[in-house]
Amino acid sequence: MYIYVVSMGHYAASDGNVRSKGTVFFVLHAQGKHAHGRRVGLPYDGPAVSGHAMLARDEEQAKAVMNRFLDRAEAPA
């Protein structure tokens, strides 16, 4: 049985003239070392965008985890 800890949130530009806004969804690592997820939103000048998102204790760890995640996502099934 798997137990997932998830967190959702939203972001919005603080400048009233900018429409950038969106939602983020994260799944916490079993030992709480990092969280990975997705973001989807509206940029200030175009259609909806989506992409991967990562939370970690430092930039180096975030890059390493993101690279491992992307390698698994691109592997053939």
pLDDT digits (tens), the chain, 77 positions: 677 889 999 988 888 777 789 999 999 988 888 898 999 998 878 889 998 888 898 999 989 988 888 887 765 65
pLDDT at residue 19, rounded to an integer: 77
User: pTM to 2 decimals?
Assistant: 0.72
Task: Tell me if 50 sits within 8 A of 37, measured CB to CB.
Answer: no
pLDDT at residue 76, rounded to an integer: 60
Other Cβ atoms within 10 Å of 54 Cβ, number:
17
